A and B are shown apart, each in its own frame.
Chain A
């Protein structure tokens, strides 16, 4: 799967293909990208994003999907 360093097994290829074809649920993605990920300090831009992301997360998750703006997942 992903531990491969040089030793590419058939499993590694299938895994990669399935990753490419797979559409993960946006909410699962946002759980990770907004609450997870390494947070780095010291940059002005980042600090803005960092503080806001939690709030944005809430807002985005609560945000209703209108019929003419269907969810892309």
Chain B
């Protein structure tokens, strides 16, 4: 992102802001004004390797860095978000700043590509949303987000040794004794059964997760199951959730889900995080509470 992409991006962006030196204010997160946030700002670099600063309004402060108006204006940001490489770089930088800030103090992460025309607009936004932000920060205080993903992988189920030496069925004789046609049909039937079993078992596991962690979490959000090329994990993601968990309950959370997929070939549970509470910053005042 900061590798000389600036000039072409600025040139290709027919923005109404034509001054190449013009900058805008990119906001990463909002937290309570104070040394923790100032320290984070001093220690980190933002997009385009620009220095971070805090923009304060009363008790709140936004973590901000300046970005070129051409590359991050309306057209620039649109192009950037639609290029996977650029999107990845933008996301990783945004994330690095939020993550590092969250390590020092509770912050409300902003959605990717939250850009303001200047610091005055950022300050105005802080004033306007003062109550929401303060409430949300209080709510998130001392909590982290953990992701839970459940996968169904029929191939893995098929590869697993059959439970208790293949229960005797109407098929009767062992495979060796079968004619090729019957052996084929039998195998197809087994495949279908593995497939069905894996999905059924994964569904059961996914359904059990909220109950298992019920006493340990403050809120839960269901994300869309991950699909497509970026979802490179083996199997199909059938549940993709985020939980808001108090920092001192994180271990309990892991423990509560340990062994959930044991003895279920073709089902896998993945826990990601801890994350800054991205999934719980969307609606500061209402909703999202389990």
Which residues of A are at the interface with B, using a C-beta cutoff of 8 A?
Answer: 1-5, 12, 15-16, 19, 24-40, 42-46, 48-50, 52-53, 56, 59-65, 69, 71-73
CA distance A2 to B88 in the complex (A): 25
Given that A2-B247, A48-B74 are contacting pairs, would A27 and B95 also be in contact in the complex, using a CB cutoff of 8 Å? no
Chain A positions within 8 Å of B109 at CB level:
32, 36-38
Contact between A31 and B223, CB atoms less than 8 A apart: yes
Give CA–CA (A12, B274) in the complex, Å. Answer: 13
Main secondary structure of the interface of A (DSSP, over half): helix
Knowing A39-B282, A60-B84, A61-B226, say if A49 contacts B272 (CB, 8 Å).
Answer: no
**16 pairs from A and B in contact (CB 8 Å cutoff):** A19-B103, A29-B95, A32-B145, A33-B111, A36-B242, A36-B282, A40-B111, A43-B115, A48-B78, A49-B113, A49-B114, A53-B112, A60-B230, A63-B84, A65-B230, A71-B232
Question: Which residues of B come within 8 Å of A, CB atoms?
Answer: 24, 27, 30, 36, 72-74, 77-78, 81-82, 84-85, 87-88, 91-92, 94-95, 99-100, 102-106, 108-117, 121, 125, 128-129, 133, 136, 141-142, 144-145, 147, 221, 223-224, 226-232, 240, 242, 247-248, 250, 272, 274-275, 278-282, 284
CA distance A64 to B229 in the complex (A): 5
User: Contact between A40 and B282 (Cβ–Cβ < 8 Å)?
Assistant: no
Known: A36-B242, A37-B111. 15 other contacts (CB 8 A): A1-B274, A3-B142, A4-B104, A25-B232, A30-B87, A31-B224, A35-B279, A38-B108, A45-B73, A45-B116, A46-B114, A49-B81, A60-B81, A63-B230, A69-B85
